[in-house]
Amino acid sequence: MYKVLLVEDERLIRKGLAFLVDWTSLECMVPLEAANGKAGLKLIEEEKPDLVITDVKMPLMDGIQMIEQGQKFHFFASIIISGFDEFEYARTAMRLGVSDYLLKPVQMGTLAETIRKACASIRVRNLVAAIEGRGNSDIHSEVLDFSQVDRGLKTSSKYVSAMLRKVRDHYTEKLSLKNLSDELNISATYLNQKFKEETRYTFNDFLNRYRIQMSIAMLLEGRYKIYEISDKTGFQEYRYFSMVFKKYVGCTPTEFSDFNRHL
């Protein structure tokens, strides 16, 4: 669940946004609240929200200053909701990487979609950070811990070791639990049970996660087209690849590439 901070000096608007948005459906916690930029900055430092939704003109410190100073503490996505359609505000917001600049009165449907897109960008950024080694252990959107494969190769179960080795060395090929069962001469049910005991995943879930992680690495390289990556990571059909990618990452491969270009 994403942690949200809502900063708005008009109490009725702030409470309206807090109670009218279906936060749970957007994978967000009910937001923290602040009535001005100074209080918002304090919460950014202390609570480290994933997303900040703020007004621009507020007492003590405006929303632009709050975002600019808050970004010195840690990364967060931000959405501005303002009653002022002024080019200078919008230009500064773009420079700070604000996800969107919405004008009051804002439609709830528009706001919900903007929040959904902002959360997707957070998810992508976290994945990129994790893959590049800058992430930490609480990154909730990481698809798979690669080190688990190497640790698992030393497992007490020779069958699980063999299955992990097969994934690592042959993920680009057609793999199935039935084929492994025939190859290892043991029941598929037993294999899947042992695999889940030691990795926390079913074999098919682990294989898909591994393939998606490898596809993410290829997308970050930028050398291949998406349909080529689908083939190179063992997915037989592009449509199925896109569906599995969205299941684990939260966006399509195309959306991931678009977000990554703007990071």
Query: What pLDDT digit, counting tens, does each position of 101-145 carry?
Result: 888 888 888 999 899 888 877 877 777 666 555 443 333 345 665
Alpha-carbon distance 247 to 148, whole Å?
21
- Output the six-digit token pair for 14: 């702030």
Alpha-carbon distance 25 to 109, whole Å?
13
- Output the six-digit token pair for 15: 């409470």
Centre a 10 Å sphere on the Cβ of residue 236 and count the other Cβ atoms it contains: 10
pLDDT of 134 reads 45
Asked whether residue 259 carries a pLDDT value surpassing 70, the answer given is: no
pLDDT of 84 reads 72
Block residue for tokens 């195309």: 254
What digits encode the pLDDT tens for the residues 149-169?
Answer: 555 555 568 888 888 888 888
| Adjacent-strand bridge partners of 6 | 33, 53
pLDDT of 140 reads 36
Span 175-183, average pLDDT: 91
Centre a 10 Å sphere on the Cβ of residue 105 and count the other Cβ atoms it contains: 10
CB of 57 closer than 8 Å to CB of 12: no
- The closest of 220, 206, 207 to 253, measured between CA atoms, is 220
* Domain 147-261, CATH: 1.10.10.60
Asked whether residue 229 carries a pLDDT value surpassing 90, the answer given is: yes
**Per CATH, is 4-131 categorized as 3.40.50.2300?**
yes
Q: Coil, strand or helix: which one is 100? A: strand
pLDDT of 45 reads 95
In what side-by-side order are the strands of the sheet with 77-82?
32-34, 4-7, 51-54, 77-82, 100-103
Centre a 10 Å sphere on the Cβ of residue 100 and count the other Cβ atoms it contains: 18
Asked whether residue 245 carries a pLDDT value surpassing 50, the answer given is: yes
Span 10-25, average pLDDT: 87
Span 51-55, average pLDDT: 94
Domain with CATH 1.10.10.60 in the chain: 147-261
Alpha-carbon distance 198 to 152, whole Å?
8
pLDDT band (50, 70, 90) for residue 79: very high
pLDDT of 34 reads 96
Asked whether residue 89 carries a pLDDT value surpassing 70, the answer given is: no
Span 16-33, average pLDDT: 87
Counting residues of the chain whose pLDDT is more than 70, the rounded percentage is: 83
Check the CA dihedral 55-57-59-61 and report its sign.
Answer: positive
Listed in sequence order, the DSSP H helices in the chain are 11-20, 37-47, 63-70, 87-95, 108-131, 147-152, 158-170, 177-184, 188-199, 203-221, 226-232, 238-249, 253-261
Nearest-5° angle of CA 79, CA 82, CA 83?
165
Domain with CATH 3.40.50.2300 in the chain: 4-131
SS3 string, 147-212, reads HHHHHHCCCCCHHHHHHHHHHHHHCCCCCCHHHHHHHHCCCHHHHHHHHHHHHCCCHHHHHHHHHH
Segment among 65-74, 230-239, 246-255 with least mean pLDDT:
246-255
